[in-house]
Structure formats: C-alpha cells, structure tokens
Amino acid sequence: MMGPLLIGLYVFVLAVFVGVEIITKIPPTLHTPLMSGANAISGITLVGSLTTATSGDTKISSILGLIAIIFATINVVGGFLVTNRMLGMFGSRSKR
C-alpha cells in the first residue's frame, strides 16, 4: 500500500535537490527564460491529461480531460516557443 507512495516521495525529494543544484547556477540574465522554460516543463501534466480524455464521449470526465489537454498544450507549446524566441535575442550579438 505504501510502496508506490514511498518510491514517489524518494523520487520527488531527490528531484528537488537536483533542481536546486542546477538552478542556483543559472545567471540572473537568464531568469526570465528560465521561468518561461520551467513553465513549459510544468505543462508535463499534459501527459496526465492525455490519459483522461481517451473515450471521445461527452461524459464530464472526458470534457474535463479535453480542457486539461487544451490548457496544458497552451502551456507547453507557448512556453517553449516564447523561451526560444527570447533566447534568440540573447544570441543576437553574433548576428549584428
């Protein structure tokens, strides 16, 4: 009963440490791209939403799943694109 929860907790705590280690090394110049990039990554909940809209009917669970997919996809696609756009500007020195 407690097995999957404990494994999940281990994974969660270790991932937080990995995150802290990497993110403290990111320079302030890149904090906005970090934020929008991290934002896009939090759209990983898309994976969860895909599993909840697999019937194509109009049950409440499917409709909630559909909205979840739309929200998460906006987050993922928009987040990665806008981050890419911003980072392109940082590289503009070589362009000029």
List Cα–Cα distances, 66 to 43, 79, 80, in angstroms: 14, 19, 21
Which residues, numbered 37-96, are part of the site for other proteins (CB under 8 A)?
37-57, 59-62, 64-93, 96
C-beta of 94: minimal distance to other proteins in Å?
10
C-beta of 31: minimal distance to other proteins in Å?
3
Which residues, numbered 18-37, are part of the site for other proteins (CB under 8 A)?
18-20, 22-37
- Residue 37: count other Cβ atoms within 10 Å of its Cβ: 19
Consecutive H or E run containing 20: helix 3-23
C-beta of 12: minimal distance to other proteins in Å?
5
Number of amino acids touching other proteins (CB under 8 A): 85
